[in-house]
Amino acid sequence: MKKAEKVAYIQNKLEELYPETPIPLNHTDEYTLLIGVLLSAQCTDERVNKTTPYLFDKAKTPHAMVKLSVEEIEDIIRPCGLSKAKSNAIYNLSHILIDQHQGKVPQSFEALEALPGVGHKTASVVTSQAFGIPAFPVDTHIHRLATRWKLTNGKNVEQTEKDLKRLFPENLWNKLHLQIIFYGREYCPARGHKVEHCMICSEMGAKG
């Protein structure tokens, strides 16, 4: 199967399986999405969704968040792991949003990536899911599937992102990001992967 045929098959299969792509992190606006994505680093979406109601009950805007102490934030988000670094990032980025962005989450990728605790992947998720600007956030899970499906031979997520952006139409990037994540969880896990139960791997001739 040629690469163009692979891409078409993957695109069609994912659309067939996941025509709707709800954002897995519960949020009410750009700010609560940003905080949820930041908390999801090395943590499951399920755990984040169990934790954020307690945080957002106390503070769901930058102005409310800076009224809490870093220690209060850390105590609430402890179940998400890396709580010391994440609480400092949440407190400091909230101050920056107030001081530099009128309390709003900026749409600019560069401005987002300049915020404490916001890396390339987090900025990409917020850009795409909060503002609908085309981006293709690649985490370790998407990197793993893209490699398994031989869509990239990139050694890191940065190269994989470039390869996927080149292969798939820009207007599909935001949706494909979520579709690949959903598919990986349901059919193509890192452990216990059974090729015969994975439609795309079976079609690609991929190994476990």
Q: Where in the sequence numbering do the catalytic residues fall?
A: 121, 139
DSSP string, the chain: --HHHHHHHHHHHHHHH-S----SS--SSHHHHHHHHHHTTTS-HHHHHHHHHHHHHH-SSHHHHTTS-HHHHHHHHGGGS-HHHHHHHHHHHHHHHHHHHTTS----HHHHHTSTT--HHHHHHHHHHHH--------HHHHHHHHHTTS---SSHHHHHHHHHHHS-GGGHHHHHHHHHHHHHHT--SSS--GGG-HHHHHHT---
Report CA torsion sign: 145, 150, 153, 159: negative
Spatial contact of 42 and 117, defined as CB atoms under 8 Å apart: no
